[in-house]
Structure 1
Amino acid sequence: MKTTAPIPAAFQILGDHGLGLMRKDTPCGVVRGHGGDTNGHHSTAVTTADGRRTAVSDTTISPGGDARRYLRLALAAEDALSCELLGKPVPTEVLGKLRGTTPLPPLEEDN
């Protein structure tokens, strides 16, 4: 998982890339996967530790939308998705974030 290869010169990015498996701690347990972002778009693919179940989240924001609020909602949706993936009930706090009844946490740059 840590083996890398040079990025093709056509991408004009210096460095190497690999599989990039990441660990994510969710309210319902640990999942592993990787995500990516572009302007107004966020996607993540995760799997259970044994690799038997996978889930993908792909979200977009309307032009001119509140990107900071969008990111918080996208992360809450990923927590809900991960709970479903792990076969556990989605916690009330996560559901509240999605429904707008629980305040969304600040982003690090908000502090």
Structure 2
Amino acid sequence: MRELLRHTLGHAEQYLAGLDRRPVGVPVDPAEIRARFDGPLPAGPTDPLTVVDDLVAAAGPGLVASAGPRYFGFVTGGSLPAALAADWLTSAWDQLAGAYAASPAAAA
């Protein structure tokens, strides 16, 4: 798990470090982006590192640099470091907020 999280962190750091050079708008055909995610699922297990790399390769061309300092569209702002870390932590906790008994902290 540690190797996977470090590998994923590397992708995140690379993306964030390049925000000042990424275009804010992405002139990409929606069908092209959908096609990157289309295709058969593997017949068996896939190495999680490969899954992350495939996601980065498929999504990358369609990512808008909304976390960067040059983005002024809509009301969306850049993701603060604490918010990014908290989002990662809540995903790791994987709590069900639908019922208090399932997770008092999430339901609160």
TM-score range, shorter chain: under 0.3
- If each structure's helix is expressed as a fraction of its own residues, which one has the higher value? 2
> Given the two structures, how large is their TM-score scaled by the length of structure 1?
0.23
Larger radius of gyration: 2
- If each structure's strand is expressed as a fraction of its own residues, which one has the higher value? 1
Ranked by relative contact order (alpha carbons within 8 Å, sequence separation 6 or more), the top structure is: 2
